Amino acid sequence: RIKSQNSYINNSSRAIGSLWSRRLTKNHFVNLDFNNKYRKNIKHFASTYDDLLDISDFFENNNFLFCTGEINDQLVNSLINSILFLSYKDNNSSIKLCINSPGGSIMAGLALYDAIVWTNKSTNTISLGLAASMGAFLLASGTNGLRFSTPNTRIMIHQPIGGIQGNAVDIEIQVKELLYHRNNINYLLSKFTDQSLSMIESDTDRDKYMTPLEAKEYGIIDRVLNCRDSFKPSIKNCKKVRSVKKSNINWASFYYSFNK
């Protein structure tokens, strides 16, 4: 019985060995990631399974990082780890930071900015979708000449927002801290955009939305990607919006619709 079991094991080992040594043809694809079978893979048309490449590895090898969603400690810690790794691996190529974010934590965003400055690598920032609040700050913090945006991105700057509660002394301390962050971010935005500090303070007093072309004129970005000359005149903001609801909504049509 022992001899039979050993023979079975040997035959199984040979079968597995022949399976792994089998060459892949041009149109065959094997997912070797058994632990996470749902991760997508890039198929290289090559002869062996060694040429399979994971998408996340592909982007990391080409220095692409993604700042998407809310900017919080978890996201930023992951990005800082990748930035330090890329800095250690290759000091010559630039970091490509793709941003699609409504903003988030001030301290987390500043930590990411400090990590980028610390590595002393040129940073190519690219906004897609939305770059608002701290997302717009990170977009503007890229290396001059390497700050890009896609044509339909919306870019928004404003002053820091925070909720404060507690006794009078605690509220006073938190207000001073919030004012410090506002002044610090306004100073850095002034440095990034070459705008005067007074203009930055005025524009960030309320939400200021911009098209990519307006952001380029403002100094937040340097180039709009794939923006044709015929498309440029159509990208404009509404300069004036009526404040009275009655002048904007046809209330009679609503009444008619609900009372048929």
Q: For the beta carbon of residue 176, count every other beta carbon within 10 angstroms.
A: 9
C-alpha 237: how far from its chain's center? 24
28 is catalytic: no
Residue with tokens 């159509």: 234
Q: How many other C-beta atoms are found inside a 10 Å radius of the C-beta of residue 149?
A: 28
- Contact indicator for 142, 121 with CB cutoff of 8 Å: no
Catalytic residue, candidates 158, 181, 230, 234: 158
Does the active-site annotation cover 158? yes
Catalytic residue among 82, 133, 141, 149: 133
What residues are annotated to the active site? 133, 158
